[in-house]
Structure 1
């Protein structure tokens, strides 16, 4: 059983170590970004062998484990102090993004409702995970799921590279960049990579804000399920507390648990330092896997209308959010 994962895990380790080597030769190149880029090059030049696919697919597990471990380096007093502001920003930005993308999709570009809803959820909540969760709630067609997921992945790849560059050009502080990225980028992996590429402090802020956003996925899934059920005359069966728990990202609870343990003194300085190094390695292998799963040809096949909808929505919300965050932080 374990043996089937070894070739893929070996590939993650190899790409990760190579990325580390490149970042030492070129200090300006962040090793996490390099790992993703190398993964993309390998996957789209040589391809990932069938026997390595299952192991490469574990990159999401490495990411979630890294996030849980990262909880040890987050200061609880900062979270408590910024909590109400962060929560208000997250809810406001998520709702605004969903509404803007829905209006653009249905009004200006006449994209079918289901695809528009999947794009809105993916943009506003947590990327491809939200696309899949909402698709399950509204019983969306598989073609529409693939269409929306490919569009979200395209923007994950672009924003991963663009956000740190923009942040440095604008001279943003660590807190402003981290909160901004956590509020407006799409999927957890790229948000984490972009945040830590900017700085360790920005990475922690980005991760904290993004996890708060991720927690909205269950509520969004239930809301969409009820809406589409009423429109079609169906009953919204199975969208209560069970659905909320099923769609809720469980690793968020692990992150919170480790953060509390670290801040009440259960974990000593040596243990926290070890966990910090462990999270860095876990993220490295996770992002190597993220790169290895990006299919450039698939991204090219995305139609222009969904791309325009998400682009206009992203630019509108991202610009507004940056102005607000800069004023608050």
Structure 2
């Protein structure tokens, strides 16, 4: 008991600061309609100096890792079998193909542009699945390397900014190319990165478009499971000889799977699922605040323009594929 109390006291200062920054980011997001993850990152980076203090460092490290994995595990409560089959198998097959093609193309482009292919896996997965949440989940499953947190931060900033722009531009594009309400919902749900922006753009068109967009988006969120399983296998294969290999299923991935199964076979009360989703969001926002505190602005500036180009290509490729599928009436 004394050890647990001592541990809590050691973590409290850094963890408390991360929670305060997360609360501030949430307040700003609710009042100025910008992605909460982006605010959390930027505010966290402003408090980078706290990583130099002995009192706060341990809690910041805890928030950036343990809370991140807890938030990823709780994402499983968003997904259930009924959501996957609600629109029929056409959209399911479409989402499978979109995610696979986007990630593979991103890995190839990253290699051609001189980046670590894992950056392509990370940014492609974030673009294809669910933006900042997917970036954090995939990053937690990929092998450690010296620029991993920098790559994660850049990916979160990129997908958050692009998702906000898409929320404004994609309804206009849907109208311009003559999509009906259902098609517009499929387009919005299959292309915009973050769930909140999908909801905003979809219901800005019509209730039918908003409902369709939300369900298609949840299909993309469901793809997080196989993608983080693949990321975990990459981590196992890259483990150096003589070191302990990571488990086949890290605890947070196993918990994620368990919650998906539970949510599929048991009719969970809405209060439970809403509570789990809120707790997941708070864990992810707090962990992102801590990751921001561990990063200096100069580290982001050094990245240059090439990663921006990569993420723009990924986003444009995803939108072009969906428009082509809708034009050919394949879904």
Q: Give the shorter-chain TM-score range.
A: 0.5 to 0.7
CA distance in 2, matches of 1:105, 1:317: 14
Change (3 A) 1:167 1:127: same
Match of 2:303 in 1: 302
The answer to whether 1:70 aligns with 2:64 is: no
Deviation, 1:16, is: 4.0
- Mark the CA change 1:2 to 1:152 in structure 2 (over 3 Å): closer, same or farther: closer
Aligned residue for 1:94?
A: 99
Give the drift of 1:323.
1.4
1:14 aligns with 2:20: yes
Deviation track 1:58-91 (CA, whole Å, cap 9, x = no partner) reads: 43144225413434xx5x4342244633543344
Residue in 2 that maps onto 1:44: 45
Deviations 1:96-148 (A, max 9, x none): 234433443455x4x2xxx4421332233354665675657xxxxx45xx1x6
CA RMSD of aligned residues (A): 4.3
Aligned partner (choices 262, 277, 280) of residue 279 of structure 1: 277
Cα distance change, pair 46–124 in 1 and its aligned pair in 2 (3 A): closer
Please name the residue that 1:314 is paired with. 314
Secondary structure of the residue aligned to 1:249 is helix
Which stretches of structure 1, 4 residues or more, deviate above 6 A after TM superposition? 223-226
User: Could you say if the C-alpha distance between residues 65 and 12 of structure 1 is closer, same or farther in structure 2, counting changes exceeding 3 Å?
Assistant: farther
**Could you say which residue in structure 1 is the equivalent of 2:121?**
121
Paired residue for 2:222, among 184, 204, 211?
211
**SS of residue in 2 equivalent to 1:11:** helix
Q: CA deviation at 1:305?
A: 4.0
- Who is 2:67 aligned against? 59
Write the deviation string for residues 12-45 of structure 1: whole angstroms up to 9, x where unpaired: 4433444454466x3x626xx3x43443343222
Question: Helix, strand or coil for the counterpart of 1:293?
Answer: helix
What are the ranges of 5 or more consecutive residues in structure 2 without an aligned counterpart?
1-6, 51-55, 126-133, 175-183, 204-209
After superposition, residues 102-113 of structure 1 pair within 5 angstroms as: 102-107=107-112, 109=113, 111=114
Residue matched to 2:150: 150
- Per-residue displacement from partner, 1:212-235 (whole Å, max 9, x unpaired)? 144134446658998x9xxxxxx9
Q: 2:253 aligns with which of 249, 254, 267?
A: 249
1:248 Cα deviation from its structure 2 partner: 8.9
Superposed displacement of residue 53, structure 1: 0.8
**Residue aligning to 1:188:** none
Separation in structure 2 between the aligned mates of residue 300 and residue 253 of structure 1, nearest angstrom: 37
Matched, 1:3 2:9: yes
Correspondence for 1:159: 159
- The TM-score, its normalising length taken from structure 1, stands at 0.65
Partners of 2:107 and 2:187 in 1: how far apart? 27
Cα-to-partner distance string for 1:291-328 (whole Å, 9 max, x where unaligned)? 342333322221444544x2354144222234157566
User: What's the counterpart of residue 179 of structure 1?
Assistant: 190
For residues 46 and 195 of structure 2, the distance between their equivalents in structure 1, rounded to whole angstroms, comes to: 26
Q: 1:179 to 1:21 in 2, by over 3 A?
A: same
**Structure 1 residue runs without a partner (length 5+):** 137-141, 186-190, 229-234
Distance change (3 Å), C-alpha of 1:8 and 1:65:
farther
Contact 1:69/1:279 (8 A) holds in 2: yes
The answer on whether the counterparts of 2:73 and 2:255 sit within 8 Å (CA) in structure 1 is: yes
Shift of 1:160: 1.1
* Structure 1 residues 251 and 89: alpha-carbon distance in aligned structure 2, compared to 1, 3 A threshold: farther
CA apart distance, 1:157: 0.9
